[in-house]
């Protein structure tokens, strides 16, 4: 884990790039705690009368921040969110790694008491033995950042909706249902048609003149009757299939 861009902006906003002297240059000054400081809170190797450029200041800040980042990673034994890590780096950069290592804040944090650790930021609000409004604001902002966490930015796993694979036609209940419906309709139609045909044949064969005419023409009424009987047989088979498909007794 490394300091985020938001964390760097946070630290820079509180430190400020103080004592510019023009032409992109900065001069060293003593902070309220009496420590020689330059640019945005840089203190390492700083002395009276020291002047640096913007580029040199940015490089010094990155170099010093790297040490505080390492200190946080080495000293903290529990898991941290990015916001918690950034808040601790800001705290260490301001008070020093030695102060962080001996702080009650760190003890509570490593014991898993995150809320208790956040409450201890406020202890470090003095400079030169006096409570400084700037430090009060900074500690409150660090505690708020620490407790904010990253829940809103955490990636959430979303299950993809299941897409049922297309079934082969031979296994599709929908297709067989449609076929069964079609067969049932055909059977009903054939039943009605056959009823009319049988009734008509029965009526016609009872008319003696027509019967004689059919015989003279070579027609065989027995063959006609046999054909009708066979057709009726197929009709009965079709009825059984339809009843079975509907779930009833044959």
CB of 39 closer than 8 Å to CB of 122: no
CB of 11 closer than 8 Å to CB of 93: yes
CB of 23 closer than 8 Å to CB of 56: no
CB of 61 closer than 8 Å to CB of 42: yes
Other beta carbons within 10 Å of 7: 22
* Catalytic residue chosen out of the listed positions 15, 64, 69, 142: 15
Its sign, for the CA torsion 91, 37, 1, 101, is negative
What are the φ/ψ torsions at residue 37 (nearest 5 degrees)? -135, 155
Could you tell me how far CA 116 lies from the centroid of its own chain?
A: 32
- Whether 15 is catalytic: yes
Spell out the residues 6+ positions from residue 4 whose beta carbon is closer than 8 angstroms to its own.
Answer: 82, 86
CB of 61 closer than 8 Å to CB of 43: no
State the catalytic residues: 15
């Amino acid at each position: 884990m490394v300091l985020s861009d938001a964390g760097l902006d946070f630290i820079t906003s509180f430190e400020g790039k103080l004592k510019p002297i023009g032409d992109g240059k900065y001069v060293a000054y003593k902070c309220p705690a009496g420590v020689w400081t330059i640019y945005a809170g840089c203190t390492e190797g700083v002395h009276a009368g020291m002047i640096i450029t913007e580029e040199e200041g940015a490089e010094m800040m990155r170099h010093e921040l790297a040490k505080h980042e390492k200190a946080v990673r080495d000293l903290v034994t529990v898991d941290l969110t990015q916001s918690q890590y950034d808040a601790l780096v800001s705290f260490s950069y301001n008070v020093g790694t030695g102060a962080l290592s001996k702080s009650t804040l760190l003890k509570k944090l490593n014991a898993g008491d995150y809320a208790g650790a956040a409450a201890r930021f406020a202890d470090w609000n003095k400079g030169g033995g006096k409570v400084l409004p700037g430090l009060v604001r900074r500690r409150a902002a660090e505690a708020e950042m620490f407790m904010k966490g990253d829940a809103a930015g955490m990636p959430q796993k979303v299950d993809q909706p299941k897409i049922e694979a297309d079934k082969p036609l031979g296994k599709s209940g929908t297709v067989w249902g449609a076929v069964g419906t079609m067969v049932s309709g055909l059977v009903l139609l054939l039943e009605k048609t056959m009823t009319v045909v049988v009734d008509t044949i029965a009526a016609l064969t009872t008319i003696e003149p027509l019967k004689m005419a059919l015989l003279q023409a070579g027609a065989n009424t027995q063959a006609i009757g046999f054909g009708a009987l066979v057709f009726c047989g197929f009709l009965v088979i079709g009825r059984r299939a339809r009843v079975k498909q509907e779930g009833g007794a044959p």
